[in-house]
Structure 1
Amino acid sequence: MFTGLSAFPLTPMTEKSIDEPAFLEIVSRLHRAGVDSIGALGSTGSYAYLAGDQRKRVTELAVQAAEGTPVLVGIGALRTADVLRHAEDAQNAGASAVLLAPVSYQPLTEDEVYGLYADVTAELSVPLCVYDNPGTTRFTFSDELHGRITALPNVGSVKIPATPADPQEARTRVQKLRQQIPKNVTIGVSGDAAGAGGLLAGCEAWYSVLGGLWPELCLEITRTAQRGDTAEAHRLSERLTPIWELFGRYGSLRVVAAIAEHMGLIGSPNLPRPLLEFSGTDRAQVDEAVRRVLADTDEVAS
């Protein structure tokens, strides 16, 4: 299941509750669009801000709305005991796979990170995706550590940060990692501006934030890159440059929340405090970026 477009939806919420109807519709849109998998409770899904019972409920809702589309569920937490509990809840709810980042407060060593994945994979009955996200966790995986972890049972994919913009450097990056991990383990790129480039460089999957909101357009990029149409894949991705620029400036979560509100998919407030929704100039920049993209394509309006 770790190939193609994996779309990561928002978890719209207030301080008191999850907006269940809005979340169900967001996930249902992804199923109807035909994404390859759905990544619930990723960073865009605000997993770190939710209590255990809320995470369990979001997983149940995601599986329900996905209607058979494979659901990948984030299980990261500070303590291994909590990760194992989240993994059990995800499996019991019908998740097809789990996603695990080495979340920490105290900086982790390589042996500690390896031990985390060893403990968790030993208890799993579904595949696991390794979430390599140094911008959030402040932990940088070496390729050698990826090799050790992917040799563990039940590891199916590695979600890596954005590949280099230069095509040859991107191919070299993917090839270097590929030499360290088993052939049955896929490599997936994150960092949406690098989605097309990562797929063209040899990644088998694109773990996409914007795919959780504009699945049709991101699927078009994915399928074009999978066909090896380099020029067209880059052209399609470049149409989204106004969005990629905002992701780089503000972070993807706040931007996609503002776009979802602009589209009428969610209300306000919709982010866990202390995170704040955009207003004023910041909100105007998002609205203008959406207008520019819409002017170039009608697909995102669906």
Structure 2
Amino acid sequence: MFRGLSAFPLTPFSDDGIDEAAFARLVRRLAAARVDSIGALGSTGSYAYLTRSERKRVAGLAVKNASGIPVIVGIGALRTRDVLALAEDAQALGASGVLLAPMSYQKLGDDEVFGLYATVANELSVPLCVYDNPATTRFEFSDELHARIARLPNVRSIKLPPVPAEPGAARARIDRLRALIPSHVTLGVSGDASAATGLNAGCDVWYSVIGGLFPGLALEITRAAQAGLAQEAQRLSERLQPLWELFARCGGSLRVVAAAAELRGLVRRPCLPLPLMAVDGPQRQQLAELLDRWGLQ
């Protein structure tokens, strides 16, 4: 489950709330492509904008439509009490694993974050992936904190921020962290632009935004890296450089991927929870041209 391609779909919205039919279709696309796992309610899934009942419904739809593909459900929340409730929901609905980021309003310290993971890990009956995402949580994990958390029961993977762009530096980064954590804990790369570099540097899994919408594209890169075809994986990623640059200009991938889903008729417009908005204007036009050029549907 924590190897290969883990695809993270949008949670599309409509005027009436969550567009359940569109979400189910997105999950079925991923199942048909045979991704290695599906990440429901990650940052791309807008988990922080949903109520507990909405998240429960989305998690259930993901499991129901995944055709046996393992589903990893995001359980991040501001209070440990709420994280535990969300974990209970996810497990009861048949999630194969859970994903936890240290959400906060007040800035958290290392002991507080360790305490969160220790409390949750000891209550789980499914594996946990540590979500290291400083761009949204504003919390910076040290390698030493990762090492402490990785030794907790049920911790099985770490979802890392983008690795360094230079291959040697990326390899050194992964080797340094791998030396500190147990062998049963996998390392995953996020930040789609650095995925090929991370996989080639020794990451076990790509936690992918673009894979949640266009899984075939992400699987090509993943399978090339898994087969030891490092140059091919890098070539496939570099072909998408205009998309990676668009992600950077738009403050991240979410607004761009939402626009792509709208442009391809996979979701209604608008599909993000307000005040979030998909990219528009010249950037949307550029995206449309890229999708046409690459034949992405």
The normalised TM-score by structure 2 is 0.98
Question: Which residue does the alignment assign to 1:233?
Answer: 233
Query: CA-to-partner distance for each residue in 1:236-258, whole Å, 9 max, x for gaps?
Result: 11111121111111111110010
**Mapped pair 1:73 → 2:77:** no
**Counterpart Cα distance in 2 of 1:135 and 1:208:** 16
- How far off its partner does 1:269 sit? 1.6
**Mapped pair 1:268 → 2:269:** yes
**Mapped pair 1:141 → 2:141:** yes
**Counterpart Cα distance in 2 of 1:193 and 1:277:** 19
SS at structure 2 position matched to 1:76: coil
Deviates more, 1:237-246 or 1:166-175: 237-246
Aligned length: 296
**Counterpart Cα distance in 2 of 1:137 and 1:16:** 29
Letter in 1 for 2:205: A
Q: What are the residue-to-residue correspondences of 1:1-302 with 2, within 5 Å?
A: 1-14=1-14, 16-250=16-250, 251-294=252-295, 300-301=296-297
Do the aligned residues in 1 keep the contact of 2:246 with 2:283 (CA within 8 Å)? Answer: no
- How far off its partner does 1:283 sit? 1.6
- How far off its partner does 1:227 sit? 1.0
Do the aligned residues in 2 keep the contact of 1:15 with 1:273 (CA within 8 Å)? Answer: no
Query: CA-to-partner distance for each residue in 1:43-101, whole Å, 9 max, x for gaps?
Result: 00000000000000000000011010000000000000000000000001100000000
**Counterpart Cα distance in 1 of 2:175 and 2:119:** 28
The normalised TM-score by structure 1 is 0.96
**Counterpart Cα distance in 1 of 2:278 and 2:189:** 27
Mark the runs of 5 or more structure 2 residues left unpaired by the alignment.
none
**Counterpart Cα distance in 1 of 2:118 and 2:280:** 44
Letter in 1 for 2:160: I
Letter in 2 for 1:204: D
Letter in 2 for 1:171: R
Query: CA-to-partner distance for each residue in 1:247-294, whole Å, 9 max, x for gaps?
Result: 111111110010011111001121001112333223212212223333
- How far off its partner does 1:15 sit? 5.2
SS at structure 1 position matched to 2:39: strand
**Counterpart Cα distance in 2 of 1:170 and 1:49:** 33
Do the aligned residues in 1 keep the contact of 2:31 with 2:66 (CA within 8 Å)? Answer: yes
Do the aligned residues in 1 keep the contact of 2:247 with 2:256 (CA within 8 Å)? Answer: yes
RMSD: 0.9
**Counterpart Cα distance in 2 of 1:283 and 1:168:** 35
**Counterpart Cα distance in 2 of 1:98 and 1:15:** 29
Do the aligned residues in 1 keep the contact of 2:262 with 2:270 (CA within 8 Å)? Answer: no
Letter in 2 for 1:215: P
Letter in 2 for 1:48: A
Do the aligned residues in 2 keep the contact of 1:44 with 1:253 (CA within 8 Å)? Answer: yes
**Counterpart Cα distance in 2 of 1:253 and 1:293:** 20
Letter in 2 for 1:234: Q
**Counterpart Cα distance in 2 of 1:221 and 1:282:** 25
**Counterpart Cα distance in 1 of 2:220 and 2:281:** 33
- How far off its partner does 1:14 sit? 2.8
- How far off its partner does 1:128 sit? 0.2
SS at structure 2 position matched to 1:157: strand
